[in-house]
């Protein structure tokens, strides 16, 4: 047996594994690094986050990725060089975190790396019958493994597409294992660049659960404030939005996109929800002269309203507890609006379930890697479109 396979076999046989989950999201704020200690598999999985940090990206990193991010036309050489470079950069960030945490690379069983999504285009979005669902994450697993000196499992989304899904959201695979409950219906709401949710009915019926993207979480608000040129990356504590008024005509125009009438589960990204999308909505609603504060207040409400509708559609008349995560939970205006509307649902964060809300997506990829190593057959069924019962991730050895 090859020594790498033997080492993997030993990792799989342990009662507990140390897995580093890495997530680099659409906000391009930094690399989320979660060192998880994971016991068991499937519904018996237990996770303890031993260390977590977000390593902020340098301006250079952001500029290099933005050169291709969510763009239909790019320089192919830039895409090609970015793929290994992001892998190496993430590998160095892991090494740096381990040194700070005084953990040796040998103590880690595997790294689970999401990579950087640069383009996401499900068929329902590109609508070109010649092609199927597609998504592209850069940050090659071999380069990451060699740089960090740790076996790496990466590129989780391709198998999902190969087996009939849209490549996202993958949250359901982790949320179901970790958070489904027999005592309460749960909505796991993640407000990242794109907002998504997982519906976990207390029946715990694997055929009833699903994850879906909702629409923009922070991505339009971030893009808009960045366009103002004051050097702000996001509307911190909703300072700008709080000074403005919601424009109903703009809000109505923003809501007019075919994505919103698609059935669940569905996926989207900044390829659709970007500054051109906003400019089009402003043109159609004749609101080009709105102040920046009014536009921001409207974008904030747009995100909140989409979340409210998606939650109502998911749980119907059933009461449920909403467990929120992602950077949007730090946006006080958005969260206040959710709380005002959802008087019949409790709104908490995943902190109440012992998972740091900023770390949740990185933990998800650690869980997917754990399932790749020791999990059995996924409980989901191909019958439910969008949630194929597959094992995800590609394995790269360090030497």
Ligand X SMILES: Nc1ncnc2c1ncn2[C@@H]1O[C@H](COP(=O)(O)OP(=O)(O)OP(=O)(O)O)[C@@H](O)[C@H]1O
Ligand Y SMILES: CC(=O)N[C@H]1[C@@H]2OC[C@@H](O2)[C@@H](O)[C@@H]1O[C@H](C)C(=O)O
- Binding site, residues? 25-32
At its nearest, how many Å lie between ligand Y and the CB of residue 32?
Answer: 10
Find how far residue 330's CA is from the centre of its chain: 16
At its nearest, how many Å lie between ligand X and the CB of residue 188?
Answer: 12
Q: Is 174 among the residues that bind ligand X (CB under 6 A)?
A: no
Q: Is 154 among the residues that bind ligand Y (CB under 6 A)?
A: no
Strands 110-121 vs 186-191: parallel, antiparallel or unpaired: unpaired
Could you give the 3-state DSSP secondary structure of residue 80? helix
Cα separation, 25 vs 32, in Å, equals 9
Q: Which range, of 34-42, 97-105, 190-198, 284-292, touches ligand Y by CB under 6 A? A: 190-198
Structure tokens at 61: 């990193």
* Residue of the chain from 87, 141, 192, 216 that contacts ligand Y (CB under 6 A): 192
Q: Is 25 among the residues that bind ligand Y (CB under 6 A)?
A: yes
Cα separation, 128 vs 135, in Å, equals 15
* CB 390, CB 185: distance < 8 Å: no
Q: Which is nearer to ligand Y, 135 or 300 (CB)?
A: 135
Q: Is 271 among the residues that bind ligand Y (CB under 6 A)?
A: no
8-state DSSP, 89? H
Q: Using CB distances below 5 to 8 A depending on partner kind, what does residue 29 bind out of ligand X, ligand Y, none?
A: ligand X
Q: Is 298 among the residues that bind ligand Y (CB under 6 A)?
A: no
Bridge partner list, 318: none
Conformation bin of residue 319: beta by default, left when phi > 0, alpha when psi is -120 to 50: beta
Q: Which range, of 188-196, 258-266, 308-316, 374-382, touches ligand Y by CB under 6 A? A: 188-196
The size of the interface with ligand Y (CB under 6 A), counted in residues, is 20
Structure tokens at 363: 């933990």
Q: Which of residues 329-358 bind ligand X (CB under 6 A)?
A: 330-331
Burial group, residue 44, by CB count within 10 angstroms (0-12, 13-18, 19+): exposed
The contact pattern for ligand Y, residues 201-240, with x = CB under 6 A and - = no contact, is: ----------x-x---------------------------
Q: Which of residues 85-114 bind ligand X (CB under 6 A)?
A: none
Q: Using CB distances below 5 to 8 A depending on partner kind, what does residue 213 bind out of ligand X, ligand Y, none?
A: ligand Y
Q: Using CB distances below 5 to 8 A depending on partner kind, what does residue 234 bind out of ligand X, ligand Y, none?
A: ligand X
Q: Is 234 among the residues that bind ligand X (CB under 6 A)?
A: yes
CA angle 186, 334, 281 (to 5 degrees): 110
Cα separation, 192 vs 215, in Å, equals 10
Q: Which is nearer to ligand X, 196 or 282 (CB)?
A: 196
Binding-site residue ranges for ATP: 25-32
Q: Which is nearer to ligand Y, 109 or 213 (CB)?
A: 213
* CB 111, CB 94: distance < 8 Å: yes
Cα separation, 17 vs 40, in Å, equals 9
Q: Which is nearer to ligand Y, 11 or 268 (CB)?
A: 268
8-state DSSP, 343? S
Q: Annotate 76-100 with b (16+ C-beta within 10 A) or e (fewer).
A: eeeeeebbbbbbbbbbebbeebbee
Q: Is 166 among the residues that bind ligand X (CB under 6 A)?
A: no
Cα separation, 35 vs 71, in Å, equals 32
At its nearest, how many Å lie between ligand X and the CB of residue 75?
Answer: 24
Q: Is 194 among the residues that bind ligand X (CB under 6 A)?
A: yes
CA angle 119, 120, 122 (to 5 degrees): 150
* Residue of the chain from 8, 19, 27, 98 that contacts ligand X (CB under 6 A): 27
Q: By CB under 6 A, name the binding residues for ligand Y.
A: 25-26, 117, 120, 135, 167-171, 192-194, 196, 211, 213, 267, 269, 361, 364
Q: By CB under 6 A, name the binding residues for ligand X.
A: 25-27, 29, 190, 192-194, 218, 221-222, 234-238, 326-328, 330-331, 361
């Amino acid at each position: 047996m090859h020594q790498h396979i033997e080492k993997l076999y030993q990792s799989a046989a342990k009662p507990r594994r140390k897995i580093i989950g890495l997530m680099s999201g659409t906000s391009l704020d930094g690399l989320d690094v979660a060192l998880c200690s994971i016991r068991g598999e499937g519904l018996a999985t237990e996770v303890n986050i031993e260390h977590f940090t977000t390593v902020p990206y340098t301006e250079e990193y952001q500029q290099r990725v933005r050169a291709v991010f969510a763009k239909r036309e790019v320089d192919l050489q830039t895409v090609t060089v970015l793929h290994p470079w992001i892998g190496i950069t993430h590998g160095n960030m892991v090494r740096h975190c381990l040194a700070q945490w005084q953990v040796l690379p040998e103590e880690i069983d595997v790294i689970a790396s999401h990579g950087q999504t640069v383009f996401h285009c499900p068929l329902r979005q590109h609508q070109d019958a010649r092609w199927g669902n597609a998504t592209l994450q850069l940050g090659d697993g071999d380069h990451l493994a060699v740089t960090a000196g740790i076996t790496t499992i990466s590129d989780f989304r391709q198998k999902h597409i190969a087996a009939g899904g849209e490549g996202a959201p993958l949250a359901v695979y982790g949320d179901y294992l970790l958070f489904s409950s027999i005592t309460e219906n749960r909505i796991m709401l993640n407000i990242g660049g794109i907002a998504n949710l997982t519906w976990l009915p207390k029946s715990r019926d694997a055929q009833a659960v699903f994850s879906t993207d909702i629409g923009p979480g922070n991505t339009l608000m971030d893009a808009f404030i960045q366009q103002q040129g004051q050097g702000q990356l996001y509307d911190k504590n909703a300072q700008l939005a709080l000074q403005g008024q919601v424009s109903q005509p703009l809000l109505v125009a923003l809501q007019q996109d075919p994505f919103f009438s698609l059935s669940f589960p569905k996926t989207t990204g900044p390829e659709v929800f970007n500054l051109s999308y906003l400019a089009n909505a402003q043109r159609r609603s004749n609101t080009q002269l709105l102040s920046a504060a009014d536009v921001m207040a409207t974008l904030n409400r747009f995100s909140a309203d989409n979340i409210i509708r998606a939650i109502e559609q998911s749980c119907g008349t059933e009461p449920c507890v909403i467990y929120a995560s992602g950077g949007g939970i730090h946006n006080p205006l958005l969260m206040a609006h959710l709380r005002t509307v959802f008087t019949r649902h409790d709104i908490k964060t995943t902190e109440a379930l012992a998972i740091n809300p900023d770390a949740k997506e990185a933990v998800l990829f650690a869980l997917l890697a754990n399932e790749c190593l020791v999990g059995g057959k996924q409980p989901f069924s191909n019958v439910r479109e969008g949630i194929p019962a597959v094992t995800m991730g590609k394995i790269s050895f360090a030497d």
